[in-house]
Amino acid sequence: MDSSSTNGRSKATLSTETLSALAEGIPLLLSRWTALQMAIQNEWGGRDSRQKSTQLASDLLSWFAHSKVPHHVDDLENMLDEAMVLSFNTEVEDGSIEEVAEQLMIMHEECLQGHYESIENLRKCNEGTESVSLSRQVINDDKDESPEDEASNMAVDEMKPKTEEMAMGESRPKEPTGPQEGWSIVPTRRNRGRRC
């Protein structure tokens, strides 16, 4: 590993082990970034939001691996902010861009030193979350109808008898024969006060 110090940041060529660790760690870290995950799930970047997220991870890896200038957290923050605005139409103002950039820089520095604890921690944290999100998606996909569809079907069902009755020549819907236990019949506004 060739490394030289410039402006307090080290510039180094990455070993294949370090590259593979970063290739695993960057997507793991991005999968825990709430703003990005909301943008992906809600397709704020369009139908290809998931591919844009994968491309962002690839661009970050490339930036760490092939950048000829020293790495600065400000540059990384700008890169993340630009990706969120241009790819996902999302302005992130919750401070998470700075947090993710800092975590990426820490991960990169650890990998340069041959330490992979942060990636191992991310791997352990993500083991259970992926299956939970996938099971939620499967459960939601199993539903044939949404509540809105059910409500619209009920409205159609309620209207069918009324239109059938009117087609038979009746001008008003029939009133219920009697109140059920605990219920009382309230006359319509038209009929109030006109009864003699």
pTM for this one?
A: 0.59
Q: 């139908």: which residue's tokens?
A: 47
Residue 3: pLDDT band by 50, 70, 90 thresholds?
very low
Q: What is the DSSP letter of 3?
A: E
Name, in order, each residue with C-beta under 8 angstroms of 105's C-beta and a sequence gap of 6 or more: 71, 73, 76
In this model, does residue 19 exceed pLDDT 60? yes
Query: Which residue, 43, 155, 150, 133, is CA-closest to 89?
Result: 43
Q: 């109140």: which residue's tokens?
A: 179
pLDDT confidence of residue 51 = 95
In this model, does residue 71 exceed pLDDT 60? yes
pLDDT confidence of residue 47 = 93
* 11-20, 73-82, 125-134: segment of lowest average pLDDT: 125-134
Spatial distance between the Cα atoms of 25 and 145, rounded to a whole number of angstroms: 39
pLDDT confidence of residue 9 = 43
Q: pLDDT (tens digit, 9 = 90+) per residue, 93-148? A: 999 999 999 999 999 999 888 888 889 998 888 776 554 444 344 444 555 555 55
Please compute the mean of the pLDDT values over residues 80-98 and round it to a whole number.
94
- Residues in a beta bridge with 5: 10
Residue 187: pLDDT band by 50, 70, 90 thresholds?
confident
Q: Give me 56's structure tokens.
A: 């962002």
Query: Which residue, 80, 85, 125, 121, is CA-closest to 102?
Result: 80
pLDDT confidence of residue 11 = 47
Q: pLDDT (tens digit, 9 = 90+) per residue, 145-179? A: 555 555 555 555 455 555 555 555 555 555 556 66
